[in-house]
Structure 1
Amino acid sequence: MRAGLWIGVALLASGAAQAAGYDPRTTFAPLNLPGPINPVRSGSGQPGPQWWQNRADYQIHATLDTKAHALSGDEAIHYTNNSPDMLDVLWLQLDQNMYRPYSRSHAADGAAPRKGSGSTDGYTIEAVEIEQGGKRVAVQTVESDTRLQIRLPAPLAAKGGQVTVHVRYRFTIPTAFGGRMAWGPVKGGEIYDLAQWYPRMAVYDDVRGWDTLPYLAQEFYLEYGDFDYWVTVPSTMIVAGSGALQNPDEVLTARERSRLAQAAASDKTVKIVAPTEIGRERAAIGTKTWHYRMENTRDVAFSASDAFAWDAARINLPNGKTSLAMSYYPAESAGTQAWDRSTQYVKDTVENMSRRWYSYPWPAAINIAGPASGMEYPGIVFDGITDKDKPLFWITAHEIGHSWFPMIVGFDERRDAWMDEGFNTFIDIFESEDFNRGEFAPKRDSEFAPGGGNPVDEILPILADPNAPPILSRADTVIEKYRHPVTYFKSALGLVLLREQILGPDRFDPAFRRFIALWAFKHPKPSDFFRFMESETGEDLSWWWRGWYLTNSTYDVAVTKIAPAANGGTLVTVENRDPMVMPVTLRVDYADGSHEDIRLPAETWIRQTASDITIAPGKRVVAATLDPDHKLPDRDRSNNRLAVQ
């Protein structure tokens, strides 16, 4: 989801630092991670030898009614139960029901029940049938807020049992108040950004069985599978959807097909429909049905409009593979520093992140300028009609970056939004640094540090705020005041510190890449990540997980004394004063103008709060400084340096 270009850390109460003191026995105590170790999830953080995951394949036929602003659909979900458990019920997610006046989502917001512009009737489920053993029968269902339980006529067998669920449904499309999907007018017509547009299988996993958290506007947790979907719209409309278009001869003009073929072989952006060509060559009567297919994905979304300009360019992937970067936008979004550059941004982001982390797996990456601004789905993202300049680049890179987290690595965004948003904010830092030799860098000065300062200083009010939640809080409990500072900023900065200050890129980067590869199209939990990074990098990081993720702790180190040593050298006394601990650099300045940097590991304070560092004889020490390059979130930097008087 859109990170927001100004996190608003300055709005947090700075308050007094929470200096609870440092106790080595607490900081370095054995850490029992919340996730289990078993044959499904190993102690090394990898999928275990008995890993299983259920699967949901979809065929969906939908019709968009632009007069009623409604969508109707008929879907078939082919569900495979790979679990060791026999299932007597299935659960579907009905996200549209969050828009009902008395939904749990409205209650969680503290909002009064609303009818009309602030709500819809949610899903109308017209029929639910089960096809099992060659027979198709109606089944009993129980609807509960944003969930639908299906009671099976016969239990679904474990370890490979299959059933097909048929659902016929309809709903009114919310306007912009819906946030993650919407429709709205533009100068040339209307744009419909359609997501959460079909009932979706809930996840059945080894941790909780059916994971049926109600949809309170946190994001998603979904099974993987293959999708075929057909969308019928007025003939004047263009449909941009997740995956690959299967019937271009039926829905595209000859000129559009020719230009699209040109774009598939071009590193430069090719106009498929120029802004001046919007609406030409398309019949004003009747309908057309667009067929898209996407494989090995957890979701699909689409956008439809009679006002789209459209351009595209080839994406070059590792191992000689290619994909297609595409942008769809209304005429008013065009401009040399606006949406004319969107496809360039998409192409570069996918190519760069594929080189750095894991190759992009899908046939297209699409950016839409529409009413549902700043939202991501597999293969397609929705951004703002008026976005331009740096904000357009930053939001494009961020939303496309979600292809890796949580679309490839299937984090549970409903519970652990910090893994989704924080991991993605971390990787899009590199895209800002790399794009066009840093044209829009540094990302940290905008995303991390709204005041334009050092991000490790900008985090200090969060760490000092006694009401700020730990990162490992249930996502639904994090109030808006802390959502960006904790879920995006603190989570991403934690990875920056882990990479640059604790492990180093030479250990972090290969481990992070392997984590992505091992968990691609699977469902890792926080404990899997923590265990994997420890095992793969060869480092006990329990003190770091406790200080940064499981608690909201402050950090303060100090140089307290410089004195002669018995061997003729010098003793520099350093202290750790707050609950959190990190490796730190001690810089010793000598009278001859030179200096020496000594790296102090976290274990410097594993048995004591203060430690004497012996400096060899031969040079006269004139000063000592901890964290001289200002890389750590030290709440009191006034005690970091001590000079000999």
Structure 2
Amino acid sequence: MYFFRISLIAVLSFASSLCYAQYASNTEYNHQELFGPINWPSPGESRTASGKPSERYWQNRADYQIRATLHEGSQDTTINGEVNITYTNNSPDELEYLWLQLDQNLFKPDSRGAASTPVTGDRFDVKGFNRGGVRIASVNITYKGQTYSLNPVITDARMQLRLNKALGAKGDKIQVKIEYNFSIPLYGADRMGRKKFNQGYVYEIAQWYPRMCVYDDVEGWNTLPYMGLGEFYCDYGDFDYYITAPGDMIVVGSGDLQNAAEVLTPLQLKRLNEARNSDKTVMLITEKEVGDKSTHLGKETLTWHFKMDNSRDVAWAASKAFIWDAASVNLPSGRKAIAMSAYPKESAGNDAWGRSTEYLKNSMEIYSKKYFEYPWNSAVNVSGVALGMEYPGIIFCLSNYKNGKLWGDVTHEIGHNWFPMIVGSNERKYMWQDEGFNTFINDYAAKEFNNGEYFSATELNAQSVLQQYKSSKDPLMTPPEAIGLNDYGQYYVKTALGLKMLRNVVLGADRFDYAFNQYIKNWAMKHPTPYDFFRAMNNAAGEDLNWFWKEWFFTTWKLDQAIEGVRYDDDDSTRGALITIVNKGKMAMPVDLRITLSNGRYENIQLPVNVWQRGSVWTFKFPSKLTIKSIVIDPNGELPDADLRNNEWKAN
């Protein structure tokens, strides 16, 4: 009996190996390469193996008080500022020095970003200008009751402060006071700058103060310089800031305006209060009122005071040309926020920025209900030079966008308030973790808004994404400054398509949504790495998805599923069909098939990815008593299959 059992296993194994060998020469697939061990960094003490912050998780904190003045000149407009930073070191390490980002140094003619910009330019077009860069007037440190000045060590877009005495660990605080100024670039790497309209410049002001680099539990000081494509990684804290501008300008910014009665007319105040309770857009400054003396208080300058708590950044905008409108935002808890838009006459119109606040309000409500409630009280969209850029509570969108383009820009940029403003990932290293996640939720918002007014089923079409990036040699885990300039779009759409496939093909909506929302909840206002996301999804969905993370984020492998053949058991169709499929590409995915029978009826079946765990060929029995007319792999076109010609089988 024992001898017979061993012999039977040997025969079955031999037959199986013959089947695999039959097709081995036609495939690139290697099951050991895909399903073999992974080499991820350990989560450490502060992060759990289940992808959550542990009880020992820590992150440092930076609170800012800023006073800045906008000086408008005929040739040059400058910002003069003073920032007071209270930095809290919650880490277990003493810090002998501090690092800060000087983002405006990107615009110095000799910056790294300018040096690495192609001669032909690119979207960010960082060439520098003769007054580019931030000028540091003074740096003062206050620690343990002692105040002293020091000379900073500036390297490109970073500044090191070498302390006289090390900053203590586990909650010790230090104050840093910096006086600075810079000239506003015309085109600030598509993220800030100034643009002239008939009634004045619109100034979109961001990366406008020296800010702390992040010291975290993963890499210590994160000091990658700002060079153009790679965006930002910031600690959280409270912001209290004052903007002094010419008295005929309107200033909008991140957070809550604290002194509305000091900077607005009584009529504007009345309209603003109406807007806080109105689902329809209320005009605060109409097109006819722009430039009218009665629209302003008649003072030479005004100081606008804003506060924003538990944020990772703030930005603002100012102009004489602003039309200004607003509407109420209804949040799931019953709390109300306000959505606003500020734009010049050139952007006005019901097919353009006249609907901006409607787009902004609805996006905020959709994302708050589906994912995580918007934690702040206001958001504003500004029309200007930036194609599209996001900051907590404020976004910049291109001035000439209309209809669907404007909707797409608004919902994408405000969507960034969830990724990475709430879920605070490191954009400078892992661009896909904010751009891709945001693109994924934008697709959902487009379906929801106004019965899908602007929804396009081709936006995240698998074949479109495949064709766009099929020749890319850079995987998604490539840092932004190292990826091909024609390939960084995959951070957006390849990531989003991957999440869409996980939801629709691998896990199903319920398991995916639960896991994804758990990730958002657990990492809100914290700093997740990609590996925290991978572990969070694995654990909350109850599925080992390491094969998917490996192929989709760490490689540029292609998928090619094929139907090899169909035969009937003992040549008798009433006894069922044996269907053989082959995985020819290096990627693997579950297999969806539509099997159409001779009577015209069809059945859809799904085989799990596990059928590819031992090799590239799989034969399964389909229990039918009729002959099969045709079989199609992936009938809904949800997978980026590289060769559709072998996805269909038809009976002779």
TM-score category (smaller protein)? over 0.9
Q: Deviations over 1:220-256 (max 9, x none)?
A: 0000000000000011011000000001111111001
Tell me how far 1:116 sits from its aligned partner: 9.3
Q: Secondary structure at the match of 1:315?
A: strand
Is 1:580 aligned to residue 587 of structure 2?
yes
Q: Deviations over 1:307-339 (max 9, x none)?
A: 111000000001101110000001121101111
Deviates more, 1:68-77 or 1:132-141: 132-141
Aligned to 1:241: 253
Q: Is contact 1:118–1:177 with CA below 8 Å preserved after alignment?
A: no
Q: Is contact 2:629–2:650 with CA below 8 Å preserved after alignment?
A: yes
* Structure 1 segment 374-453 matched on structure 2, within 5 A: 374-442=388-456, 444-445=457-458, 447-448=459-460
2:55 alignment partner, one of 49, 55, 68 = 49
Q: Is contact 1:176–1:183 with CA below 8 Å preserved after alignment?
A: yes
Q: 1:121 and 1:177, CA in 2 relative to 1: closer, same or farther beyond 3 A?
A: closer
Deviates more, 1:536-545 or 1:293-302: 536-545
Distance in 2 separating the partners of 1:222 and 1:117: 24
2:335 alignment partner, one of 317, 321, 326 = 321
Letter in 2 for 1:237: M
Q: Deviations over 1:62-85 (max 9, x none)?
A: 000011400010010000000000
Aligned to 1:73: 81
Aligned to 1:333: 347
RMSD (CA atoms): 1.7
Is 1:159 aligned to residue 166 of structure 2?
no
Q: Is contact 1:357–1:513 with CA below 8 Å preserved after alignment?
A: yes
Aligned to 2:317: 303
Q: Deviations over 1:104-153 (max 9, x none)?
A: 10122145999997453301000000111222210232110000000111
Q: Is contact 2:60–2:215 with CA below 8 Å preserved after alignment?
A: yes
2:564 alignment partner, one of 560, 567, 592 = 560
Distance in 1 separating the partners of 2:363 and 2:91: 37
Letter in 1 for 2:598: A
Letter in 2 for 1:21: E
Is 1:82 aligned to residue 126 of structure 2?
no
Q: 1:163 and 1:392, CA in 2 relative to 1: closer, same or farther beyond 3 A?
A: same
1:97 alignment partner, one of 105, 110, 113 = 105
Letter in 2 for 1:57: D
Aligned to 1:468: 473
Tell me how far 1:590 sits from its aligned partner: 1.4
Aligned to 1:187: 198
Letter in 2 for 1:469: D
Deviates more, 1:282-291 or 1:149-158: 282-291
Q: Is contact 1:142–1:149 with CA below 8 Å preserved after alignment?
A: yes
Q: Secondary structure at the match of 1:275?
A: coil
Aligned to 2:3: none
2:577 alignment partner, one of 549, 562, 570 = 570
Letter in 2 for 1:478: I
Distance in 2 separating the partners of 1:468 and 1:109: 20
Q: Is contact 1:38–1:48 with CA below 8 Å preserved after alignment?
A: no
Q: Secondary structure at the match of 2:342?
A: strand
Tell me how far 1:215 sits from its aligned partner: 0.8
Q: 1:119 and 1:557, CA in 2 relative to 1: closer, same or farther beyond 3 A?
A: farther
1:372 alignment partner, one of 368, 371, 386 = 386
Q: Which stretches of structure 1, 4 residues or longer, exceed 6 Å deviation after superposition?
A: 112-117
Is 1:527 aligned to residue 541 of structure 2?
no
1:213 alignment partner, one of 200, 224, 240 = 224
Is 1:128 aligned to residue 139 of structure 2?
yes
Is 1:516 aligned to residue 525 of structure 2?
no
Aligned to 1:40: 46
Letter in 1 for 2:64: Y
Q: 1:633 and 1:169, CA in 2 relative to 1: closer, same or farther beyond 3 A?
A: same
Letter in 1 for 2:557: S
Tell me how far 1:371 sits from its aligned partner: 1.8
Aligned to 1:538: 542
Aligned to 2:487: 482
Q: Secondary structure at the match of 1:539?
A: coil
* Structure 1 segment 278-293 matched on structure 2, within 5 A: 278-280=290-292, 281=294, 282-283=296-297, 285-293=299-307
Which structure has the larger Rg? 2
Distance in 2 separating the partners of 1:187 and 1:581: 56
Q: Is contact 2:126–2:189 with CA below 8 Å preserved after alignment?
A: no
Is 1:261 aligned to residue 273 of structure 2?
yes
Distance in 1 separating the partners of 2:226 and 2:120: 18
Aligned to 1:251: 263
Letter in 2 for 1:460: L
Q: Is contact 2:232–2:426 with CA below 8 Å preserved after alignment?
A: yes
Tell me how far 1:414 sits from its aligned partner: 0.5
Letter in 2 for 1:241: G
Aligned to 1:7: none
Q: 1:636 and 1:361, CA in 2 relative to 1: closer, same or farther beyond 3 A?
A: same
Deviates more, 1:103-112 or 1:346-355: 103-112
TM-score computed with the length of structure 1 as normaliser? 0.93
Q: 1:71 and 1:81, CA in 2 relative to 1: closer, same or farther beyond 3 A?
A: same
Is 1:551 aligned to residue 565 of structure 2?
no
Q: Secondary structure at the match of 1:406?
A: coil
1:64 alignment partner, one of 53, 63, 70 = 70
TM-score computed with the length of structure 2 as normaliser? 0.92
Distance in 2 separating the partners of 1:386 and 1:273: 20
Deviates more, 1:297-306 or 1:557-566: 557-566
Q: Is contact 1:28–1:543 with CA below 8 Å preserved after alignment?
A: yes
Aligned to 1:312: 326
Aligned to 2:17: none
Tell me how far 1:181 sits from its aligned partner: 0.9
Q: Deviations over 1:329-383 (max 9, x none)?
A: 0112110111110000000000001011000011111100112231111100011
Q: Is contact 1:561–1:572 with CA below 8 Å preserved after alignment?
A: yes
Distance in 2 separating the partners of 1:589 and 1:433: 31
- Structure 2 unpaired stretches of 5+: 1-25
Is 1:197 aligned to residue 202 of structure 2?
no
Q: Is contact 2:31–2:612 with CA below 8 Å preserved after alignment?
A: yes
Count of residues paired in the alignment: 616
Percent identical among aligned pairs is 44
Q: Secondary structure at the match of 1:25?
A: helix
Is 1:277 aligned to residue 284 of structure 2?
no
Greater relative contact order (Cα < 8 A, sep 6+): 1
Deviates more, 1:615-624 or 1:578-587: 615-624
Distance in 2 separating the partners of 1:191 and 1:623: 61
Q: 1:170 and 1:195, CA in 2 relative to 1: closer, same or farther beyond 3 A?
A: same
Distance in 2 separating the partners of 1:220 and 1:573: 49
Q: Deviations over 1:249-276 (max 9, x none)?
A: 1111100100000000111100000011
Deviates more, 1:283-292 or 1:189-198: 283-292
Q: Secondary structure at the match of 1:468?
A: coil
